[in-house]
Amino acid sequence: MAAGRLLGLRPAPGRLHRCVGGLPATVRPTFPTGRAKFCRYSIRSIPPLGGVGRRVPRAAQAAMGGDLYALDFDGVICDSCGESSLSAVKAAKVRWPWLFQQVDAAMEEWIVEQMYTLRPVVETGYENLLLVRLLVEIQIPSVRKSSVADGLSIQEILENWLKLKPTVMDEWQEDRESLVDLFGRVRDDWIENDLSGWIGANRFYPGTADALKLSSSEVYIVTTKQSRFAEALLKELAGIDFPSERIYGLGTGPKVKVLQQLQKMPQHQGRTLHFVEDRFATLNNVIKEPALDNWNLYLVTWGYNTQKEREEAAAVARIQLIDLPDFSKQLK
């Protein structure tokens, strides 16, 4: 199928908010010869978290109250859209090799391009695999196994993913845990065999690494990413030895439960609580829990969300929209 025809399926401009701060078009991964070319970013050396003089000792923080920040990782600290899309294509080829027999380099390039647009619907990494397969089925009727792919547009996926996901999972007879395990193994293999390539497919949003390094607040990472990958990126890409016990990743429970755990810890009593996210749906889940009423909630304007979601969030009294400069200033 011609690349021109594929690219012609892109949604109408101006209707979607793509990955703000995403990988620049000139360095996004492409597949000109069937093999991925990974965009690379320079790796700066940053002192370990807590290793700078500006940081307030924990004992002093406890005495004065202080602030506690629970930060999402992907879409708040790190732009992982390039890496997750490439990893999803790799994993999809392992899971459904027959599906890719008719997928050429031009179609792979188109798939990765659409994944940038679709990234706001992804809550947990394994969903990237489902999106990759759905995109293939949209393009190649002969491999179609789902009832929803025929005539499905990118915009419709964005608007209806919560309904589409269980449908395709059932029709493809897939289970969540197997896909989570596969996605993790593919990433582990990439890291083991090409660490610089894996690191280079990610980037930290401007200023977030410095804000973490200089923060005088108690900071936790609360993410649906597997903890080992967040920890590796903090160390290898930002030079931050972030304490592993302060990373709550995939498998530690829903974010609302993690926030409840954090606020109940004796050392956190009296602190002002802040939760920073890029998913409007996640913040809504927090609002539904009366036990979490003491959390200040923030939706970032640079992460994986749409203009429509930001407008809806702005109308919710509990949620504050925050831009990147203000986030970095507040965290410090």
pLDDT of residue 16: 30
Its sign, for the CA torsion 261, 281, 21, 26, is positive
Q: Do the Cβ atoms of 225 and 249 come closer than 8 Å?
A: yes
pLDDT of residue 273: 98
Residue type, 212: L
E strand or H helix that includes residue 274: strand 272-277
DSSP letter (8 states) at residue 30: B
d(CA 74, CA 85): 13
Single out the residue of 142, 162, 185, 181 nearest to residue 1, CA to CA: 142
pLDDT of residue 271: 96
Which spans in the chain are helix H?
3-7, 58-64, 81-95, 105-118, 127-139, 154-171, 176-193, 195-200, 208-214, 227-236, 255-264, 280-287, 307-314, 324-331
Domain ranges, ordered by start, for the chain: 3-30+81-196, 58-79+204-331
Average pLDDT value for the chain: 84
Express each pLDDT in 113-129 by its tens digit: 999 999 999 999 999 99
pLDDT exceeds cutoff 50 at 35:
no
pLDDT of residue 315: 98
The 3-state DSSP composition of the chain as helix, strand, coil percent (nearest 5) reads 50, 10, 40
pLDDT exceeds cutoff 50 at 4:
no
pLDDT of residue 22: 37
- Residue 34's pLDDT band (cuts 50, 70, 90): very low
The topology under which CATH files domain 58-79+204-331 is: Rossmann fold (3.40.50)
CA-based end-to-end distance of the chain: 51
Using the structure block, give the residue that is written with the tokens 């490439």. Answer: 86
Express each pLDDT in 45-96 by its tens digit: 333 343 323 334 444 444 447 999 999 999 999 999 999 999 999 999 999 9
Express each pLDDT in 164-181 by its tens digit: 999 999 999 999 999 999
Express each pLDDT in 302-314 by its tens digit: 999 999 999 999 9
Express each pLDDT in 213-234 by its tens digit: 999 999 999 999 999 999 999 9
pLDDT of residue 196: 94
Single out the residue of 322, 318, 79, 332 nearest to residue 219, CA to CA: 332
pLDDT of residue 332: 79
